[in-house]
Chains A and B, each alone.
Chain A
Amino acid sequence: DTGVSQDPRHKITKRGQNVTFRCDPISEHNRLYWYRQTLGQGPEFLTYFQNEAQLEKSRLLSDRFSAERPKGSFSTLEIQRTEQGDSAMYLCASSEGQGGEKLFFGSGTQLSVL
């Protein structure tokens, strides 16, 4: 097992474009989380899945953001009509079982909106 994998590592886009990120969690992990991190800040919770069910979404997640985990394995995070304020590192994490503890993070996708 190679850990949590995120793709792409970097994404540069123009304002107004749509972007999609992918996360492949550790295979036996039921929970998958998305966090956002800006420079000099800690990770901020966006949403999480228990298997394929999206159980919670942060108020940070506007209508332009949507996340899916269709088969309870990989997940995608889509941002529509990107804004400059969306520029950040988008981190995916997974954890095993029901506990939601011991998050294993991927290396993130760095988004730059020009």
Chain B
Amino acid sequence: GENVEQHPSTLSVQEGDSAVIKCTYSDSASNYFPWYKQELGKGPQLIIDIRSNVGEKKDQRIAVTLNKTAKHFSLHITETQPEDSAVYFCAASNRNRDDKIIFGKGTRLHILP
């Protein structure tokens, strides 16, 4: 089955700087890659997703890139703000097989004042 690895496990960046979180996946048939943000005491919330027919997607300060050949994808947050502090999870699934979504272990992002 699919296995998703995520790093770093913890990331601290100065407010206003950029943050990058990287993930790799094992199943070359995976074609859907969502990113979730989890704040303390809440469930994960979808912030952006990308399909395998697209190499990059942007939504305001957030962007995701996908390298299918290398089987890795990344989340980029620019101009970080205090409210970006949270745990971020990458995930993968094969939508053609209607597979469940498999999550990475998460990255705790600290935005330093």
Contacts and interface: CB of A to CB of B under 8 A. Distances in A.
Decide whether A and B are members of one complex.
yes
Interface of A: 4, 33, 40-45, 48, 56, 91, 93, 98-108
Nearest to B90: A42
Interface of B: 4, 6, 9, 32, 34, 36, 41-46, 49, 89, 91, 93, 95, 98, 100-106
A42 B89 CA distance: 7
Nearest to A42: B103
A5 B24 CA distance: 32
B106 A41 contact: yes
A40 to B, nearest CB: 7
Contacts of B42: 107
B95 A101 contact: yes
B34 A107 contact: no
B95 to A, nearest CB: 7
B49 A102 contact: yes
A42 B105 contact: yes
A43 B6 CA distance: 13
Find the residue from B4, B100, B102, B106 having the highest chain A CB count within 10 A: B100
B41 A101 contact: no
B95 A91 contact: no
Contacts of B102: 45
A107 B46 contact: no
A93 B43 contact: yes
A11 to B, nearest CB: 15
A56 B98 CA distance: 11
Contacts of B89: 42-43
B45 A101 contact: no
Contacts of B44: 43, 91, 103, 105
B32 A101 contact: yes
A40 B34 CA distance: 19
Find the residue from A41, A99, A103 having the highest chain B CB count within 10 A: A103
